[in-house]
Amino acid sequence: MITNNKVVTFHYQVNEPGKEVIENSREFGPVVYLHGHKGMLIGLEEALVGKRAGDHFSITLPPDKAYGVRREAENLRVSLKHVIGYDKKTKIVAGMPVQINTPQGPREVTVVKVGLKTLDVDTNHPLAGKTLNFDLEVVDVRDATEEEIAHGHVHGDGGHHH
Ligand code: ZN
């Protein structure tokens, strides 16, 4: 059963109510996380408490339980050299999601305006401000190791390798 300090593996599919699927983990592999260590969307952790391997269910999360509310004035001007995977052949247009390098690590942002050597981007998560349906299937639940609990993250398959 899912409680704090369990390592949880699950599949998910996410969409806005009445719209098509945005992401389906069956296309790239299940999500693995350590429960109770803030490594997962708060609304998903709350919904997964007490569930077991094999449980399959759907929930609807408001933005504040998912990717947060959209913040205005979150636009940022970044140099093209900070865009991950960018080369001169890359055609970047407004509205496109791109990943940029930040001091806190890679971050997914949305292009607002394209300049000669810079981009204006919106740093809100692309799914911020959206109410989302999640279809969840718990694949596996196991006890975390002492080391995983100390580190606050999962080791091995789907987790950290160090
Ligand atoms: Zn570790």
Distance 148 CA to ligand 1 centre (A): 6
Is the pLDDT at 97 greater than 90? The verdict is no
Distance 155 CA to ligand 1 centre (A): 6
Distance 39 CA to ligand 1 centre (A): 13
Mean pLDDT of the 75-98 span: 88
The mean of the pLDDT values for the chain is 92
Is the pLDDT at 156 greater than 90? The verdict is no
Six-digit token string for 60: 């609807």
pLDDT of residue 73: 64
pLDDT in tens, 17-69: 999 999 999 999 999 999 999 889 999 999 999 999 999 999 999 999 998 88
Is the pLDDT at 75 greater than 70? The verdict is yes
Neighbours of ion ligand 1 (CB under 5 A): 151, 160
What dihedral angle (degrees, nearest 10) is formed by the CA atoms of 27, 100, 7, 136? Answer: -40
Is the pLDDT at 108 greater than 90? The verdict is no
Distance 152 CA to ligand 1 centre (A): 7
Residues in CB range of 89: below 8 A, 6 or more apart: none
Find where tokens 């997914």 sit: 108
Sign of torsion, CA 120 99 35 57?
positive
β-sheet bridge partners, residue 98: 109
Distance 158 CA to ligand 1 centre (A): 12
pLDDT of residue 70: 83
Distance 86 CA to ligand 1 centre (A): 31
Distance 34 CA to ligand 1 centre (A): 11
Is the pLDDT at 162 greater than 90? The verdict is no
Asked if residues 127 and 65 have their Cβ atoms less than 8 Å apart, the reply is no
Is the pLDDT at 72 greater than 80? The verdict is no
pTM (two decimals) = 0.77
Distance 45 CA to ligand 1 centre (A): 20
